[in-house]
Amino acid sequence: MGAAVQDLPSASSGAAGAARHPIVPRVDLDFGLDGDIPRYWLGGDPFKTRLFDAMSCLFPEGEKYFITCVRDYRDRITDPVLNQEVKDFMRQEGQHGMVHTQFNNRLKAQGVDVERIENQMTRILARLRSILPRTFTLAQTAAAEHMTAIMAHSFFHRRELLEDADPRIRAMYAWHAVEEIEHKAVAFDVLTKVAKASYFTRVIMMLYVSMIFPLHTFLIMRHMFKVDGFSWRQRAGMWLKGLWWLYKPGGLYLPVLPHYAAYFMPGYHPWKAGKMHSYERWVEVFGQTNDPIAAGNALHAAGA
Ligand SMILES: [Fe+2]
Ligand SMILES: [Fe+2]
């Protein structure tokens, strides 16, 4: 996400000046997820593979929750454009949940207790909705959408990250990334224009999501490494090496810090930060071929 800062449009362009993408829900995509995909589909590396797999376990319940939290405000939206965007956002997130469920069935077959993970998620999210005002759960959704947009950029910005990935899984993440970019401002717009949430609400829920998202991901990875049968010593080594890979200078996370931190600026809007250069390439190839794997390959080859 080093590109995020240099791609910030001038302040005068504002949110309206940034290039918004149309939100296009795409259905019935076939990623070949029932094929002979290797267990460690990301270059044979258990840590990197399980990082993505753990996030996949969070997506179906998480995205259902995002839809619910945005839907809370649907009746109060008077702007027809935003109303349509909300509809398209919900359709996209619904599709993401379905495809990740398909993928997660592969994880189930490997012995990962996806059901327990999802039940825990459901309980935690229901608890949050029972104790927090709706503005806060919407702010939580907007914060999570910021995180997914950052991931969409960072996973494809540096080609080497997914260079050795199985093209089918990489294509699934490429499609998800493209649609996350398309709808990245929807929850934020409902939060600021309809719910009229305060800066405090927006920021406090971002801090919450920033802690809870990596924590849950790492806990699921811990479970997966046990299922995979790695010894205590092997697991300790994998965590040390993997966390260094994630957090070292120039690693996966530090270069995205400016994009992440932009959310804390009072005048922030999602379309002001980050541009996915290869977005158009995905859309072009998908338009020509209707093949999400070819489009995923093209996105990867172009680099974000
Ligand atoms: Fe999504
Ligand atoms: Fe999303």
| Ramachandran bin of 39, using left for φ above 0, alpha for ψ from -120 to 50, beta for the remaining angles | alpha
pLDDT digits (tens, 9 = 90+) for 175-208: 999 999 999 999 999 999 999 999 999 999 999 9
SS3 165: strand
The pLDDT of residue 5 is: 31
Reference 120, options 70, 58, 67; nearest CA is 58
The pLDDT of residue 278 is: 87
What percentage of the chain carries pLDDT values higher than 70? 93
The answer to whether the CB of 58 falls within 8 A of the CB of 70 is no
The answer to whether the CB of 40 falls within 8 A of the CB of 49 is yes
Token pair of 221 as six digits: 């990875």
Reference 148, options 58, 248, 279; nearest CA is 58
Expressed in angstroms and rounded, the spacing between residue 182 Cα and the centre of ligand 2 is 9
- 26 vs 251: CA distance, rounded Å: 32
pLDDT digits (tens, 9 = 90+) for 244-264: 999 999 888 898 899 999 999
Average pLDDT over residues 215-225: 98
SS3 20: coil
- 167 vs 169: CA distance, rounded Å: 6
The pLDDT of residue 72 is: 98
- Domain assignment present for residue 193? The answer is yes
Expressed in angstroms and rounded, the spacing between residue 93 Cα and the centre of ligand 2 is 6
Expressed in angstroms and rounded, the spacing between residue 232 Cα and the centre of ligand 2 is 36
Token pair of 50 as six digits: 């399980």
Expressed in angstroms and rounded, the spacing between residue 92 Cα and the centre of ligand 1 is 7
- Domain assignment present for residue 10? The answer is no
Confidence of residue 18 (pLDDT cuts 50, 70, 90): low
The pLDDT of residue 12 is: 30
Ligand nearest, relative to CA of residue 89: 2
pTM: 0.92
Spatial neighbors of 44 by CB under 8 A, at least 6 apart, are: 38, 164
Q: What is the CA radius of gyration of the chain?
A: 19
Expressed in angstroms and rounded, the spacing between residue 236 Cα and the centre of ligand 1 is 32
The pLDDT of residue 10 is: 30
Expressed in angstroms and rounded, the spacing between residue 103 Cα and the centre of ligand 1 is 14
For 123, half-sphere exposure in the C-beta direction (CA atoms, 13 angstrom radius) is 6
The DSSP code for 273 is: S
pLDDT digits (tens, 9 = 90+) for 80-104: 999 999 999 999 999 999 999 999 9
Confidence of residue 304 (pLDDT cuts 50, 70, 90): low
Expressed in angstroms and rounded, the spacing between residue 85 Cα and the centre of ligand 2 is 12
- Domain assignment present for residue 233? The answer is yes
pLDDT digits (tens, 9 = 90+) for 20-37: 899 999 999 999 998 899
The pLDDT of residue 111 is: 97
- Domain assignment present for residue 25? The answer is no
- Domain assignment present for residue 30? The answer is no
Expressed in angstroms and rounded, the spacing between residue 240 Cα and the centre of ligand 1 is 30
Maximum mean pLDDT: which of 15-19, 56-60, 160-164: 56-60
Output the average pLDDT for the chain. 91
Expressed in angstroms and rounded, the spacing between residue 191 Cα and the centre of ligand 2 is 14
Written as one letter, the residue type at 230 is F
Domain extent at residue 216: 41-148+183-264
- 85 vs 63: CA distance, rounded Å: 16
Expressed in angstroms and rounded, the spacing between residue 26 Cα and the centre of ligand 2 is 14
- Domain assignment present for residue 227? The answer is yes
The pLDDT of residue 13 is: 33
- Domain assignment present for residue 239? The answer is yes
The pLDDT of residue 188 is: 98
Count of domains observed in the chain: 1
Average pLDDT over residues 108-132: 97
SS3 189: helix
Spatial neighbors of 3 by CB under 8 A, at least 6 apart, are: 153, 157, 274, 275, 277, 304
The torsion angles phi and psi of 33, rounded to 5 degrees, stand at -70, -10
Spatial neighbors of 215 by CB under 8 A, at least 6 apart, are: none
- Domain assignment present for residue 18? The answer is no
In what helix (H) or strand (E) does residue 146 lie, and over which residues does it extend?
helix 134-157
Average pLDDT over residues 213-230: 98
The answer to whether the CB of 300 falls within 8 A of the CB of 159 is yes
Expressed in angstroms and rounded, the spacing between residue 224 Cα and the centre of ligand 2 is 25
The answer to whether the CB of 190 falls within 8 A of the CB of 70 is yes
Expressed in angstroms and rounded, the spacing between residue 191 Cα and the centre of ligand 1 is 18
The pLDDT of residue 7 is: 37
- 139 vs 270: CA distance, rounded Å: 14
